[in-house]
A = this chain, B = another copy of it.
Amino acid sequence: MDITKMLSGIRIDQSSSAPMYLQLANGLAAKIQNSTLSAGTKLPPERELVKLLEVSRTTIINAYRLLEERGLIITRVGSGTYVAEPSFTNQSSATILWEQLFTPQYKSPLSSLLRTLIATPTADETISLAAGMPDPAFYPLSIIEKALVSSKYDLEVSDFGHMTTEGYLPLRHSLAAWQSSLGIQAAPDQFLVASGSQQGLYLIVKAFVEPRDYVIVESPTYLGAIQALEASGARILTLPPSDSVNFEMLEDYLIRYRPKLMYTIPTFQNPTGRVMSLHDRQELIRLASRYRLVIIEDDPYSQLYYGQQPPPSLKSLDTYGGVIYMGTFSKILFPGLRTGWVIAAPQVINRLAQEKQHIDLHSNSLSQIILHTCLEEDYLANHLATVRMEYKKRRDAMVGAIRRFCSGYMNFNIPEGGFYLWCSITPPASGAELIRRAATVGVSFVPGEAFYTNGTKSNEIRLCFATHNEELLKEGIRRLGRIFASGAANAAQPSDLAGKPII
């Protein structure tokens, strides 16, 4: 093989910060790995390379030595240097048996489902009604620029440096003001800014839950919460689906198991869209207060109401200080901001901050500055008005489409807010099976199994009406209808989700 061809594309940049021998070695390594230089090929002798590349002999020697160490070439004394057999070249990645080194890991039947959902492309021809994402078309990009520009005037440049683990103080002040307008009175030292409410939940679980502790959740509930709780080794007690809280069962749990905490989404619950009544909220607080039950109130949707306003949050009714509130703007502004907050007693905030310090020191300062500016300059109010109006239209469009294309096959209640329609399928069919059928007609959703603990069967599916415009929603439902019409659903046998990709 012609030496110049061998070296074609290999550049030695004297000014690069990478040593020249490394540049040469890596250039040759690339050619060997993509087989431009096949096994057995004889490499040019050092002195020729010295001439051709105008580098020192040491550079060539070091490059060859490195490639030899990497098992990519072999030197035969007296004969020359040759590209090694692939068997050697793959060695490096194989030498460490990683699985043997990893710590034992909790594997739920739902593992990786959430990541699959997040990774699901919503741009291609498949219409995804799965992931609970706001419509990117509503992301107020202008806010970001405005926030950063105005920041230049009213913010210290040092705000872009490190900050306290509890979060950007001006943001904690503006959050306190905003929450107070929503009925929660809390001082900035009762706030912790987390990297999304997912992290808030992770920190709370880390601070409170030990293996074999009991925790209470609604069934069905948010898949991310189930995963976080199960991963901690908690034993999960479930309150069955119902329009009102089953207080007899709850009190029985409290007496019998002394649970560490209860996780609830009282407003526009995920996935059911249910709203806990004011009476039930007050009753829950009374009971929790009597038994000193810690309540985790997850509240991502309460500001996304499309009819009458939901009742006040549990935290605003908290008479015993035991409610830990989790807020986020991920469903309102950008999920990508990854900025949520926890409101709790100062002792709790302090402990959560100690956990958070190990994890990421503090949350991203840019996002905190942006959110602070949004709150200060009241961008949020207008934005909320817009999305409430739009999402209401979309909810109605989806409902209309279902009645038109899927009538008789799906039952649901119309949610007064949030992102989801929770539908039970008649005749019953496994969601996982439906998913696979749906994929063939180009639509996706989350099967009900995803929202139940220990792989309970379900004949429900969750449809998100927030991500797409009305036309796409109608088309998505129309495609869904075809599955039912084709009777495929009847044929399907319930089967659990484990290991089966969602889309």
Contact = CB atoms under 8 A, between A and B. Distances in A.
Nearest to A157: B136
Contacts of A334: 160-161, 365
Contacts of A111: 354
A115 B165 contact: yes
A119 interface: yes
A183 interface: yes
A91 B292 CA distance: 13
Contact of A202 (B112, B134, B141, B360): B360
- Give the oligomeric copy count: 2
Contacts of A51: none
Interface stretch (A94-102, A400-408, A418-426): A94-102
A152 to B, nearest CB: 7
A316 B22 contact: yes
A453 interface: no
A348 interface: yes
Contact of A158 (B123, B303, B309, B362): B123
B354 A338 contact: no
A268 B316 CA distance: 51
Contacts of A231: 358
A427 interface: no
Interface string A60-78: 0000001001110000000
A361 interface: yes
Contacts of A335: 160-162
B183 A18 contact: yes
Interface string A250-294: 000000000010000000000000000000001001100100101
A149 interface: yes
A382 interface: no
Given A101-B208, A157-B139, A183-B26, A353 B115 contact: yes
A379 interface: no
A359 interface: yes
A114 B357 contact: yes
11 contacts: A17-B181, A17-B182, A17-B303, A18-B316, A114-B357, A118-B361, A141-B152, A195-B359, A195-B364, A337-B365, A360-B360
